Amino acid sequence: MPNCKATIGLLVNDQPGVLVRVAQVFTRRGYNIENLVVSQAHIRNSSRMTITCVGPEAELHQIILQLNKLVDVIHANDHSDTQTILRELALFKIGCSVTERTEVLQISEVFRGKTVDISTDTITLEATGTTEKMDALRELLSKFEIKEMVRTGKVVMARGDQVT
């Protein structure tokens, strides 16, 4: 049975234990959660979850059905094949000399990155974009010393009138 990668958006009640119950649905079906982002939603007392997971393709439909049956899940949608806006935030702390700084800033500029901190030996960049763009930025910055890197993982929003 081939594995597939899925991006699932959930709107849930902001209650203790909801995350555990959601994760259990994936565990029981043999899916690995690769990426999990949880944040406050636009609706009072609710949270938005974006989950990127990998597992058997045949189980994905069942996972969505089971998620929608959970008491605290308002709705769950598979966004793998829908028109969505996907973004990821990354922070890179780069060890570089004053002479290397110009090149680091030029690379950052190509990716519309922002400089959020600078010292004599390091520069910290912030960038947003698709996972692929963040991977490409990391690859270009790898010729310098990446002292730290933090990535949020994907967040998703449906385009147009569709509900996330």
Q: 83: number of CA atoms within 13 Å, CB side?
A: 4
- For the sheet with 73-78, list strands across it: 32-40, 46-56, 3-13, 73-78
Our count of domains for the chain comes to 2
**pLDDT beyond 70 at 112:** yes
Q: Any idea which residue has 């960038």 for tokens?
A: 127
- 30 and 76 housed in the same domain: yes
pLDDT band with cut points at 50, 70 and 90 for residue 3: confident
Could you give the 3-state DSSP secondary structure of residue 162? coil
Bigger pLDDT: 106 vs 6: 106
Q: Say which DSSP state 57 is in.
A: G
Per residue in 23-70, pLDDT (tens digit) is: 999 999 888 899 999 999 999 999 999 999 888 877 888 999 999 999
Q: What is the pTM of this model?
A: 0.80
Domain boundary among 47, 81, 115: 81
If one compares 125 and 3, the residue with the highest pLDDT of the two is 125
Q: Is residue 163 part of a domain?
A: no
What percent of the chain lies above the pLDDT cut of 70? 99
Mark which of 81, 96, 119 sits at the end of a domain. Answer: 81
What range defines the domain where residue 64 resides? Answer: 3-81
Residue 110 has pLDDT above 80, yes or no: yes
